C-alpha cells in the first residue's frame, strides 16, 4: 500500500513535537507532502542522489580502510570506529571536511543531537512527549514563552 | 522557556545553529570547492530557502546518514559473533576472488558478500517500525480480503478497511523481516537465503529482498550511499578479520543474546 499507492500515502500524520515544534515544516523528514516537500526532495537528491553516489566511493572506500586500521589498533573501541567512519563520510559530502579523529567535536555534537531527536520522536508519558497526546496547550503556552 | 526544544532547532535550537554554522563555515573556508553545503547555498535564493531549511538539509546528512550506517555495522558485528557458521564461506570467496595482497572493492564479483550485506539489512534493521510514519492525503480503502468476497453474505457495498485522511500508517519492518513465509527461520542470520536455489529462499515483493529503507516517495534518499558504504566496509572487515566472541578471564567465550540488542 505504501509503495503501490505512494501518490496517496506519502504525507505525514500530525506529529506535534517533531512536526510542529522542532524543525517541523522546515525539514523534509517531518514535512507534509506537497510542493515544498518536492523542492526539498530534489535538493536532497543533489547531495546523495544515485548518480552522485558512485563518485563518492573513492573517499568512502578510504574511510572504510581507516575503520579496518582503527580496529586493528584498538579492537575494543570498534563502535567508535564505525561512528567516526559514518560521520566522516557525510561530513565530506556536506562540508568537504573529514572527521579524522574520534575526539572531533562534530562527532560528540552529532551524537548529542541524534539522541535528542530520537527522544523527541517517540510519543511518551513524560513531558515534552506528553504533548503528542494532549497537544491543546502548545500554541497558547509554549510558543509564546520560547 | 522550553529547554527540551533546543535539541532540534525550534527557535535557537542546537541542531539548527550547529548545522547552519557548519554549512556556513564550510562554504566560507572552501570557497569554490564543491560540497553539498555550497550547492544548498547556491540554490537557496532560487527556492527562497530559510536559514532553518538550509540547516535541516545539511543536518539531515548526519541525522539520516551517520547513526544509521554505524548501527548497521554494529549489527554486522553482532551477526558475525552470534553466527560464526556464516563466516568461512565469506573467507573462501574473498580468498578466491580478492586474495591477500589488496582489500576488496566495489568492482569485485562477490555474490556471497552481497548476500551477507542484504542479510545484515534484513536481520536487524535500523528503523524497525519503518521509520517515520506515512499518512494518506485523502481517505482510502484497503482491500477486502478474498475470503470475505467469496462469502454468500458478501455485499458490494463493503469496501474494505477505511483509512481516513491523515491516518498514522507504519510499515512494520520488524514483522515483515521476521515473517516465516518470506524468511524461514527469521532470527537465523543466513545469507544463503538470498540465493534462488537455496531451500530457505522465498520470493519477495521487491528485488532487493528487504524493506529496510522504507516505502514509496518517502523512501530513504541515502539508500544507494548506505548500501555502497556498507558493502565496502563489511567486505573489508570480513576480509581482514576473524570476528569472534569476547573471552572471559578463564578463556571461555562470553555468549551474546541476539534479542538483547537495539
> Is residue A135 domain-resident?
no
Same domain, B215 and B143: no
- Per residue in B23-59, pLDDT (tens digit) is 888 888 876 678 999 999 999 999 999 999 999 999 9
Q: Does B14 lie at the interface with A, CB-CB under 8 angstroms?
A: yes
pLDDT value for A113: 77
> Is residue A15 domain-resident?
yes
Q: Which three cell numbers stand for residue B165?
A: 485522511
Q: Which DSSP string corresponds to A10-29?
A: -B----IIIIIISSGGGSTT
By mean pLDDT, which of A42-46, B62-66, B231-235 is the weakest?
A: B62-66
N-terminal to C-terminal alpha carbon distance within chain B = 33
With an 8 Å Cβ cutoff, are A60 and B137 in contact?
Answer: no
Range list of β-strands (E), chain B: 140-142, 161-163
Tell me which of B33, B36, B58, B71 to substitute to probe the interface with A (most A C-beta atoms closer than 10 Å): B36
With an 8 Å Cβ cutoff, are B10 and A24 in contact?
Answer: yes
Average pLDDT, chain B: 89
Domain count for chain B: 3
Q: How far is B91 from chain A (nearest CA, A)?
A: 16
Model confidence at A69: pLDDT above 50: yes
> Is residue A80 domain-resident?
yes
Q: Which three cell numbers stand for residue A23?
A: 524543525
Model confidence at B7: pLDDT above 50: no
- Is A39 strand, coil or helix? helix
Same domain, B228 and B98: yes
Please tell me which of the candidates B13, B39, B236 has its beta carbon nearest to residue A22: B13
- Is B253 strand, coil or helix? strand
Which among B26, B27, B17 is positioned nearest to A23, based on CA atoms? B17
ipTM of the complex: 0.87
Please tell me which of the candidates B1, B37, B218 has its beta carbon nearest to residue A94: B37
Same domain, A40 and A60: no
Same domain, A59 and A89: yes
Same domain, B88 and B213: yes
Q: How confident is the model at residue A115 (pLDDT cuts 50, 70, 90)?
A: confident
Same domain, A44 and A74: no
Structural domain of B105 = 84-128+171-240
Q: How confident is the model at residue B240 (pLDDT cuts 50, 70, 90)?
A: very high
With an 8 Å Cβ cutoff, are B69 and A8 in contact?
Answer: no
Same domain, B120 and B205: yes
Own/partner contacts of A14-18, CB < 8 Å, gap of 24 or more, are A14/A135, A14/B166, A15/A132, A15/B133, A16/A131, A16/A132, A16/A135, A16/A138, A17/A120, A17/A121, A17/A128, A17/A129, A17/A131, A17/A132, A18/A120, A18/A121, A18/B8
Residues in A touching B68 (Cβ below 8 Å) = 86
Highest mean pLDDT, choosing among B60-64, B143-147, B219-223: B219-223
Q: How far is A52 from chain B (nearest CA, A)?
A: 9
> Is residue B92 domain-resident?
yes
Asked if residue B40 lies in contact with residue B51, where contact means CB atoms within 8 angstroms, the answer is no
- Per residue in B58-96, pLDDT (tens digit) is 999 988 898 899 999 999 999 999 999 999 999 999 999
Amino acid at each position: 500500500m505504501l509503495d503501490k499507492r505512494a501518490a496517496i500515502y506519502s504525507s505525514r500524520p500530525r506529529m506535534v513535537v517533531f512536526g510542529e515544534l522542532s524543525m517541523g515544516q522546515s525539514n523534509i523528514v517531518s514535512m507534509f507532502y506537497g510542493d515544498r516537500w518536492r523542492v526539498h526532495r530534489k535538493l536532497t537528491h543533489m547531495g546523495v542522489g544515485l548518480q552522485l553516489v558512485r563518485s563518492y566511493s573513492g573517499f568512502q572506500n578510504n574511510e572504510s580502510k581507516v575503520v579496518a586500521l582503527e580496529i586493528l589498533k584498538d579492537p575494543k573501541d570498534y563502535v567508535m570506529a564505525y561512528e567516526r567512519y559514518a560521520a566522516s563520510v557525510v561530513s565530506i559530502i556536506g562540508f568537504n571536511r573529514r572527521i579524522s579523529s574520534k575526539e572531533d567535536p562534530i562527532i560528540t555534537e552529532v551524537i548529542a543531537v541524534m539522541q535528542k531527536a530520537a527522544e523527541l520522536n517517540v510519543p511518551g508519558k513524560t513531558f515534552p512527549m506528553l504533548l503528542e497526546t494532549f497537544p491543546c496547550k502548545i500554541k497558547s503556552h509554549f510558543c509564546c514563552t520560547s | 522557556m522550553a529547554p527540551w526544544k533546543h535539541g532540534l532547532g525550534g527557535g535557537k535550537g542546537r541542531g539548527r545553529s550547529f548545522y547552519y554554522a557548519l554549512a556556513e563555515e564550510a562554504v566560507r573556508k572552501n570557497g569554490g570547492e564543491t560540497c553539498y553545503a555550497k550547492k544548498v547555498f547556491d540554490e537557496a535564493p532560487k527556492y527562497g530557502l530559510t536559514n532553518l531549511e538550509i540547516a535541516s538539509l545539511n543536518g539531515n546528512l548526519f541525522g539520516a546518514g551517520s547513526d544509521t550506517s554505524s548501527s548497521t555495522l554494529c549489527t554486522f558485528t553482532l551477526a558475525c559473533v552470534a553466527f560464526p557458521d556464516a563466516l568461512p564461506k565469506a573467507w573462501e570467496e574473498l580468498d578466491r576472488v580478492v586474495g591477500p595482497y589488496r582489500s576488496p572493492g566495489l568492482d569485485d564479483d562477490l555474490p556471497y558478500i552481497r548476500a551477507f550485506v542484504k542479510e545484515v539489512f534484513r536481520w536487524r534493521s535500523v528503523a524497525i517500525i519503518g521509520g517515520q510514519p506515512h499518512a494518506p492525503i485523502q481517505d482510502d480503502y484497503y482491500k477486502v480480503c478474498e475470503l470475505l468476497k467469496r462469502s454468500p453474505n458478501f455485499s458490494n457495498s463493503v469496501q474494505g478497511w477505511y483509512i481516513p485522511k491523515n491516518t498514522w500508517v507504519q510499515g512494520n519492518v520488524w514483522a515483515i523481516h521476521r515473517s516465516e513465509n518470506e524468511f524461514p527461520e527469521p532470527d537465523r542470520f543466513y545469507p544463503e537465503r538470498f540465493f534462488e536455489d537455496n531451500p530457505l529462499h522465498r520470493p519477495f515483493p521487491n528485488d532487493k529482498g528487504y524493506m529496510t529503507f522504507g516505502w514509496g516517495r518517502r523512501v530513504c534518499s541515502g539508500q544507494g550511499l548506505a548500501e555502497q558504504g556498507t558493502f565496502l566496509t563489511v567486505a573489508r572487515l570480513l576480509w581482514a578479520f576473524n570476528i569472534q566472541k569476547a573471552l572471559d578471564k578463564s578463556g571461555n567465550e562470553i555468549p551474546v543474546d541476539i534479542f538483547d540488542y537495539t
